[in-house]
Structure 1
Amino acid sequence: MHGQLTALDAAAILIVLCAVLGWINHRFLKLPSTVALTMMGALASVVVIGIDAVLPDSDLAGLVSRFLDDIDFHQTLMDGMLSFLLFAGALHVDIDQLRRGRWQIAILSTIGVIASTLLIGGGFWLLTTALGLAVPLIWCLVFGALISPTDPVAVMGVLKTAKVPPTLQATIAGESLFNDGVGVVIFSILLATAVSGSDFSLIHAGELFAVEALGGALLGLAAGWIGYRAMKAIDDYAVEVLVTLAVVMGGYSLASALHVSGPVAMAVAGLLIGNHGVAHAMSDVTRDYVHKFWALIDEVLNAVLFLLIGLEAVVLAGRLGLMGLGLLTIPLVLAARAVSVGAPLTAWRSLLPFRLAFPVMVWGGLRGGISIALALSLPAGPMKDILVAATYVVVLFSVLVQGGTIGGVVRRLNRDGAATET
């Protein structure tokens, strides 16, 4: 392969790989698609690294690394895929159930993310200090912020078919939709402080957080309302699908230009169109086309995303010494998740069955592409090497182990009657 890949080349390679590996999984492995694609991508990376070890002149790992560099994982996800994924996810969330759990969702996606950032950041600082790695506290907090947002893609598929109370489903879906945007905002604030070397100002951080998060919500409401009114005025499924695309692409680009949270904007716009739009602005034919179109977009982009996560194992080839740090970070991240969701859940026993909600939200709090993308966006240097390695190990464990077993956890808890506990 000579020269730099074009966008079409990269897209073609990824889609072909996803199709081949997806077919193999559907035909033989029967695993959840996100788990299977991540696992096969990681195994392919290990094979590439192994071939290079046996045949030093092959440089396959270098070829894969250059391919990933050409794609620019961070830009591809944060400035492209994320807007589609969040809109598609929000489109299928019942706003009535979301409204019933609005306080739980608001607390988990804001205070919960902040608490998780502080707990993981403090624990990571103690861990790296004990291992003799000189990682300043502010960089540890940056790691806490990038690893705190959950990615519920694998879990939501299970929850749709499992016997889980609707309020719990809405709580998990709502938290995942909004904690992505909140986590990105917190990460941006902490990273700016770490890079500049200036003192952290809680008041300034609070102002930036309010502007980005609330500004994103207002922009999403405006974009969703404009799309809703446009769809209500006509009855043409092709044009109405184009309107939803315009809301996503135009709204996310406008959010970037206005320096407000694009992820929050897309979550709000998706909720509005997926509920009021579906109920009052679409015919049965249009509703069917819109739902199927966005379900397909969601499936294809998730397939590409989790394959990319698996292939990123090549990036760790030169950082095997940091694998131990990543492994030790896994229980830290799980413990922080347990505290940040467990504390509020104990106060909501009358609303959510604790014996089901707690293990599902802790073990089902998967980390995914957003964490990888944020880690890869860090400025080059020793801090980036440490944080990328720890992030990758946590995400790989999360997708393969937690994502691969959460279905069994839900079924076992249902058999034990945890879903009926109040």
Structure 2
Amino acid sequence: MLDIAAICLVVTALLAYLNQRFVGLPTTIGVMAAALLLSVALIGVDLLGWLPGLRDFEASLMASIDFSDVLLQGMLSLLLFAGALHIDLSELRRYRWQIAALAVGGTLLSTLVVGVALWAVLPLAGWQLPLLSCLLFGALISPTDPIAVLGILKSAGAPRDVELVIAGESLFNDGVGVVIFALLLGIAASGTVPTAGEVGLLLLHEAGGGLALGLALGWATFVLLRSIDHYQVEVLLTLAMVAGGSSLAAHLHVSAPLAMVAAGLVVGNHGRALGMSDKTRHHVDLFWELIDEILNAVLFVLIGMEVILISFGPGSWGAVAVAIAVTLLARSLTVGLPVALAPRWFKLPGGSPWVLTWGGLRGGISVALALSVPESGGRELLVPLTYAVVVFSVLVQGLSIGKVVKASVCQSTPNPAGDRENRSDPVRPATTGHPSSSRPGR
């Protein structure tokens, strides 16, 4: 395991260096593209009979990594906590109902739209999947992962409100999507359809229990942080809370992703403002920013290298095109259309529906969930479809979202609520400006 981790880190570091030195793409997009090209090149030279063994080495390396387990049981909680830590709760409250509608209602509706549309259209491409398998695809492809696009949105001058809604939606729809996927996977395994009451209780236990656990963990950590002033110990406390909290959530059968989002919001707002000195705040922010950047780079390298194990049959490209089109259509119907039809309620600038639709990138969580589908659930087709949608969204949508922002939002009418130029960045609150470096009550 140590050798595998070392190889992954070395490959990630080298690809990140080459991207930064010669290409200049956003790190996550750049390393994924480089890893994908490297894997395709190894497949090509192997077919030509050159450098025998390199393809087999990469394939054995990737086969030894349980991608689903590494992400869902390891990286995801750390990434979600790091993301939530830098969300300004005062800004999030202004859009709490809009984000909740998109993250919960939008994810549920997207699962249904993708599943039914794929089930109806896929036969035109020469493939047939049961409706339940198509719904599984809808659940695993609906969660968005806009981490790679946030930097592009900032550089393109996207309004902060749009950034906040995209970031907030993605943090919560990851957890909602995992819960829906687990529910559908349970139906597929048992062969019985639960009643509406049973579904409601399960969602309440998984999602509500995860949020409650996260709030409790975040508050307990805040109390501990406020009682000392030692940044090394306080960084360790936050790390221990994420690791221990994720394990506890698994034992309690509640949503670990939602628990980490809730805990991150508490620690990132009350903990940073009232429980940390300026010095501690700086070190905690820096630590979790590094964790976020490193894990995301490793994750996207693994996504790029995973192509070595995925089989795209000669007749699967039509299904790939159908999956990409259906996913984009569902995103536009469940997110873009509501924002366009209710501009006064969403309070976003004109052109935002285009940005929210095109900026809904899919990432590692979709691939991880697809790899956990059993063979009887249509895994043979769902895995390549999922991988193709993820690669398309990251490389095509991720690299073009800046142009979409400039062509739509940046040239549209300002937000009717007013563009508050002097407020702090909603997705990365300022770390200074507190009246004293010592904490209240010390």
- The residue identity in structure 2 corresponding to 1:194 is A
After superposition, the Cα gap between the structure-2 partners of 1:209 and 1:40, relative to the gap in structure 1 and judged at 3 Å, is same
CA distance in 1, matches of 2:345, 2:175: 28
Q: Which residue of 2 aligns with 1:349?
A: 344
CA drift at 1:420: 4.2
Question: Does the alignment pair 1:279 with 2:279?
Answer: no
Matches within 5 A, 1:96-135: 96-135=90-129
After superposition, the Cα gap between the structure-2 partners of 1:58 and 1:419, relative to the gap in structure 1 and judged at 3 Å, is farther
CA drift at 1:405: 1.3
CA contact under 8 A between 2:222 and 2:275: conserved in structure 1? yes
After superposition, the Cα gap between the structure-2 partners of 1:33 and 1:419, relative to the gap in structure 1 and judged at 3 Å, is farther
Q: Which residue of 1 aligns with 2:254?
A: 260
SS in 1 for 2:134: helix
SS in 2 for 1:355: coil
After superposition, the Cα gap between the structure-2 partners of 1:382 and 1:216, relative to the gap in structure 1 and judged at 3 Å, is closer
**Most deviating of 180-189 and 24-33:** 24-33
Matches within 5 A, 1:172-321: 172-317=166-311, 319-321=313-315
- The residue identity in structure 2 corresponding to 1:184 is V
CA distance in 2, matches of 1:68, 1:381: 23
Q: Which of residues 39, 56, 66 in structure 2 aligns to 1:72? A: 66
- The residue identity in structure 2 corresponding to 1:217 is L
Q: Which residue of 2 aligns with 1:3?
A: none
Matches within 5 A, 1:374-413: 374-381=369-376, 383-413=378-408
Q: Which residue of 1 aligns with 2:360?
A: 365
Gaps of 5+ in 1: 1-6
- The residue identity in structure 1 corresponding to 2:336 is G
CA distance in 1, matches of 2:51, 2:194: 48
- 1:20-60 CA distances to partner (integer Å, 9 max, x unpaired)? 11111111101111111111111111111112211189354
CA distance in 2, matches of 1:164, 1:382: 40
- 1:174-212 CA distances to partner (integer Å, 9 max, x unpaired)? 111000000000000001111222235333222211110
**Most deviating of 260-269 and 150-159:** 150-159
CA drift at 1:415: 4.2
- The residue identity in structure 1 corresponding to 2:172 is F
Q: TM-score w.r.t. structure 2 length?
A: 0.90
CA contact under 8 A between 1:119 and 1:336: conserved in structure 2? yes
- The residue identity in structure 2 corresponding to 1:374 is L
CA contact under 8 A between 1:143 and 1:387: conserved in structure 2? yes
CA distance in 1, matches of 2:200, 2:299: 32
After superposition, the Cα gap between the structure-2 partners of 1:333 and 1:245, relative to the gap in structure 1 and judged at 3 Å, is same
Gaps of 5+ in 2: 418-442
CA distance in 1, matches of 2:112, 2:96: 24
Q: Which residue of 2 aligns with 1:4?
A: none
SS in 2 for 1:274: helix
Matches within 5 A, 1:86-97: 86-97=80-91
CA distance in 2, matches of 1:241, 1:162: 33
After superposition, the Cα gap between the structure-2 partners of 1:160 and 1:269, relative to the gap in structure 1 and judged at 3 Å, is farther
- The residue identity in structure 2 corresponding to 1:238 is Q
CA distance in 2, matches of 1:266, 1:350: 28
**Most deviating of 387-396 and 46-55:** 46-55
CA contact under 8 A between 2:350 and 2:409: conserved in structure 1? no
After superposition, the Cα gap between the structure-2 partners of 1:163 and 1:350, relative to the gap in structure 1 and judged at 3 Å, is farther
Q: Which residue of 1 aligns with 2:22?
A: 28
- The residue identity in structure 1 corresponding to 2:135 is L
Q: Which residue of 2 aligns with 1:39?
A: 33
**Most deviating of 139-148 and 202-211:** 202-211
CA drift at 1:302: 0.3
CA contact under 8 A between 1:364 and 1:402: conserved in structure 2? yes
- The residue identity in structure 2 corresponding to 1:390 is L
**Most deviating of 120-129 and 284-293:** 120-129
After superposition, the Cα gap between the structure-2 partners of 1:280 and 1:295, relative to the gap in structure 1 and judged at 3 Å, is same
- State the superposition RMSD in angstroms: 1.8
CA contact under 8 A between 1:220 and 1:269: conserved in structure 2? yes
CA contact under 8 A between 1:366 and 1:403: conserved in structure 2? yes
SS in 2 for 1:71: coil
After superposition, the Cα gap between the structure-2 partners of 1:383 and 1:157, relative to the gap in structure 1 and judged at 3 Å, is same
CA distance in 1, matches of 2:395, 2:61: 24
- The residue identity in structure 2 corresponding to 1:377 is S
- 1:115-156 CA distances to partner (integer Å, 9 max, x unpaired)? 000000001101223334231101100000000000011122
CA distance in 2, matches of 1:164, 1:56: 47
CA contact under 8 A between 2:349 and 2:415: conserved in structure 1? no
CA contact under 8 A between 2:59 and 2:309: conserved in structure 1? yes
CA distance in 1, matches of 2:377, 2:274: 54
CA distance in 1, matches of 2:51, 2:23: 34
CA contact under 8 A between 1:367 and 1:394: conserved in structure 2? yes
CA contact under 8 A between 1:225 and 1:272: conserved in structure 2? yes
CA drift at 1:253: 0.5
Q: TM-score w.r.t. structure 1 length?
A: 0.94
